[in-house]
Amino acid sequence: MEINVIEQIKRFQEFIDSNYYNSLLDNARKGNRFLLVDFSELSKYDPDLATELLDAPEETIKAIEKAIEQFDVDGLSNFKIRFHNLPQSQNIMVRDIRSKHINKLFFVEGVIRRKSDVRPQVTSARFECPICGNIMNVLQLEGTFKEPTRCGCGRKGKFVMLDKELVDAQGIVVEEAHENLEGGEQPKRINVLLTNDLVSPLSEKRISPGSKVEVVGIVKEVPIISRSGAKSTKLDLMIDASYIKPVEGTFYEIEISEEEKKEILEIANDPKGYEKLVNSMAPSIYGYEKIKEALLLQLMGGVRKVRMDNVVSRGDMHILLVGDPGSGKSALLKRITQIAPKGRYVSGKGVSGAGITAAVVRDEFLSGWALEAGAMVLSSDGLVCVDELDKMSSEDRAAMHEALENQTVSISKANIQATLIARTTVLAAANPKFGRFDPYSVIADQIDLPPTLINRFDLIFPIKDLPEETRDERMAKHILTLHQRPDINEPEIPTEILRKYIAYARQKISPKLTDGALEEIKEFYLRMRKSGGEGEIKTIPISARQLEALIRLSEASAKTRLDDRVTRKDAKKAIELLDYCLMQVGFDKETGKIDIDRIATGVGAAQRSHIQVLKEIIGELETKLGKTIPINDVVAEAKNRGLDEDKVEEALERLKRSGDVFEPRRGFVSKI
């Protein structure tokens, strides 16, 4: 049923008068030139008007704006009306938009992939005829600027432009969220045009690339201009946005109701609260208590500090799981992406350096080059899970270095020099060098990743899958029961509440170190450093990077209790976790000490001392025998000094690789 325009304006006036008059006055007083209307209230008040709005949104919205102008309040001209809370029937996926949807009101959900700059756009221009003085108003609705073709007095062309109306406009590209896709579908994209208050600096902040948004707007067609300048028969689609809101941002943007707050505080005050949180991390995966505890602390995160000289200490901690195949690493990663908002999962060969940091692409909107954010930047203030880290190519892995340590991504390509913020927590998983851990050799030698990358992870957990009767029996029972009754292992704390708990801790709590905690960490650090310095071989058991990791871990531990103070107990928990990792990864059987260099630089202290001894031997023999030294003599001399043949061969190999010595002919070495 069609409603005539005058009737429409009258009804809208009554609706706004009874429901939104106060907020209208409020907005006018604050200088906000828009009014946000809840669609469900309109459909309760007048279902016919609501139907009319969905079917012919442009005319109806104009009628509402006319109705608003008729209120006797200053500053109501050019007032925009924005609708939200549309019925679920109006939700449409980008891939399902068809020609029948054009000029109707819908809402789509998706992730912002790209956004152009804000630029002014002409909406209408007024022209004067130089002969008769007639003034014509031309609406600029298409992409090209239009002038009037003729005047009533008969004059054609060459009119004087008096003025033009401008609006701020910005284009964004919205891509379907991947959780709504099935099978091998690629997420589809659509251009969205934002105008007026939707591009105000406050809205700008909320719609950075990577944010998940809900866009309410009118689907419109855009003519495609071919190279010859003619219009094509094919048309492109875009959405003229009426309202845009972030669906779920980072942990810092999750809203928490009063009831949820009560629940959160109950868990925090429960003596077994910490255990419950750890058990709810991944209840369907058996064992790995230490790893689950570390993952909980990772989600909580430490405190980011910006010092007076603008040096930033990151609060996010990165964790690396290196484990045998089939040990449940990927399942852990998938589960963590479900708990964290803005959680992204990327894997091995499917990742390129540009895809994980940022890429420079051609910009269709403004022509030229634009930056397209990769996974690390898109999930800033979120979490990225990188599976199969060892399968990535070395160039692509190198792209992660800066993002892991400084939490920025710098790009200097084409004419773009930019530094993007990537405050992302990284959880990575990899397989050992030969696919499975060899229980008899050193773990550090079996992690096939560059030392520079490994050094940036705060905690490294090797996951070994060794047969052990009682554990195997429990695990088999756990897995089989899960298959028999999939719903048996409900988390003690529901995922939604767990997520809110972490969000609450991150939003409200920023713990400070107490003297007790400081003392505890300092003592551990000094004790560890000291333990490496006895005897000829000086191992480096722990470095300053591990000290920072300890601080982050203890801050995260205080957050789990929702406590503003980092106590001695938190420091002990952090030390216990780090010690566990170091014993597993950095323990050197030769010296019987923990040696962080084994993993951080790839050359342990013992090996370094062998190389030193070998260099001395070669130097001494050179003075006796001349330039060419038989290898047998080197081995014999090394034996006298207590080095066995295998060690000599390994050290020689390293010297050859580094270019200190070479083999002029078989069985002889010379210094370079």
What's the one-letter identity of residue 14?
E
Residue 490 lies in a domain: no
- What stretch of H or E contains 662? strand 661-662
Question: Does the predicted TM-score (pTM) go above 0.85?
Answer: no
* Average pLDDT rounded to a whole number, residues 517-530: 85
Confidence tier at 607 by pLDDT (50, 70, 90): low
Residue 113 sits in a domain of what CATH number?
2.40.50.140
Answer whether residue 600 is part of any domain. no
Please tell me the predicted confidence (pLDDT) of residue 458.
83
Kindly give the pairing relationship between strand 189-195 and strand 212-225: unpaired
CA 381 to chain centre: 6
pLDDT band per the 50, 70, 90 thresholds, residue 250: low
Does 534 have pLDDT greater than 60?
no
**Domain co-membership, 80 together with 125:** no
Please state the rounded mean pLDDT for residues 11-26.
Answer: 79
Q: How many CA atoms lie within 13 A of 440 on its CB side?
A: 0
Q: How remote is the C-alpha of 141 from its chain's centroid?
A: 38
359-372 average pLDDT score? 67
Mean pLDDT for 509-535 is: 80
**CATH number of the domain encompassing residue 615:** 1.10.10.10
Residues 52 and 120 grouped into a single domain: no
Total domains in the chain come to: 4
Distance CA 20, CA 117 (A): 33
Helices assigned H by DSSP within 429-567: 443-446, 451-454, 469-484, 495-508, 515-531, 544-560
Phi, psi for 572 (deg, rounded to 5): -65, -40
Q: Is 514 exposed, middle or buried (0-12, 13-18, 19+ CB in 10 A)?
A: middle
Residue 201 pLDDT grade (very low, low, confident, very high; cuts 50, 70, 90): low
Position 120 in a domain: yes
> Rg (Cα) of the chain, in Å, rounded?
33
Report if residue 346 sits inside a domain.
yes
CB 124 within 8 A of CB 102: no
Q: What is the pLDDT of residue 536?
A: 46
Tokens of 288: 């790995």
Q: Which residues contact 20 (CB under 8 A, 6 or more apart)?
A: 35, 37
Higher pLDDT, residue 368 or 534: 368
CB of 489 within 8 A of CB of 284?
Answer: yes
Give the pLDDT score at 618.
78
Whether residue 608 has pLDDT greater than 70: no
| pLDDT at residue 565 is higher than 80 | yes
CATH number of residue 10's parent domain: 3.30.1640.10
Residue 497 is assigned to a structural domain of this protein = no
**Packing angle of the helix pair 5-19, 47-55 (nearest 10 deg):** 120
Residue 1, burial from CB neighbour count under 10 angstroms (0-12, 13-18, 19+): exposed
Averaged pLDDT of the chain: 78
Nearest CA to 386 out of 411, 352, 358, 360 is that of 352
The arithmetic mean of pLDDT across residues 174-194, rounded, is: 77
Pair (112, 67) in one structural domain: no
Interval 449-469 mean pLDDT? 80
Residues 136 and 207 reside in one and the same domain: yes
Residue 143: predicted pLDDT: 63
Query: Does 92 fall in a domain?
Result: no
Residue 342, pLDDT > 80, answer no
Residues 244 and 272 both lie in one domain? no
Both 59 and 103 in a single domain? no
- Residue 1: the pLDDT is 43
State residue 406's pLDDT score.
81
pLDDT for 183 beyond 50 = yes
Assess whether pLDDT exceeds 50 at residue 537. Answer: no
Q: What percent of the chain has pLDDT over 70?
A: 85
- Same structural domain, 335 and 426: yes
Judge if 517 and 620 occupy the same domain: no
Domain end call among 85, 119, 137: 85
Which of the listed ranges 378-387, 410-419, 584-593 does the model predict with the highest average pLDDT? 378-387
Cβ distance 240 to 260 under 8 Å? Answer: no
DSSP 447: -
Query: Is a pLDDT exceeding 70 seen at residue 171?
Result: yes
204 band by pLDDT with thresholds 50, 70 and 90: low
CATH number at residue 543: 3.40.50.300
Last residue of a domain, one of 29, 62, 85: 85
| Residue 180 scores a pLDDT above 70 | no
Domain assignment of residue 56, yes or no: yes
> Residue 670 pLDDT > 80, yes or no?
no
Position 253 confidence tier, pLDDT thresholds 50, 70, 90: low
Domain containing 155 equals: 98-248
Lowest mean pLDDT among 231-240, 252-261, 361-370, 543-552: 361-370
The first and second tokens of residue 586, run together, are: 């950095």
Where are the extended beta strands (E) located within 155-201?
160-175, 189-195
Residue 496 lies in a domain: no
Could you tell me the two tokens for 200?
Answer: 């105000």
- Mean per-residue pLDDT for 513-520? 88
Domain shared by 269 and 244, yes or no:
no
**Residues 452 and 348 placed together within one structural domain of the fold:** yes
Same domain as 518, residue 383: yes
298 plus 423 within the same structural domain: yes
Last residue of a domain, which of 248, 280, 308?
248
Which one-letter amino acid corresponds to residue 622? Answer: E
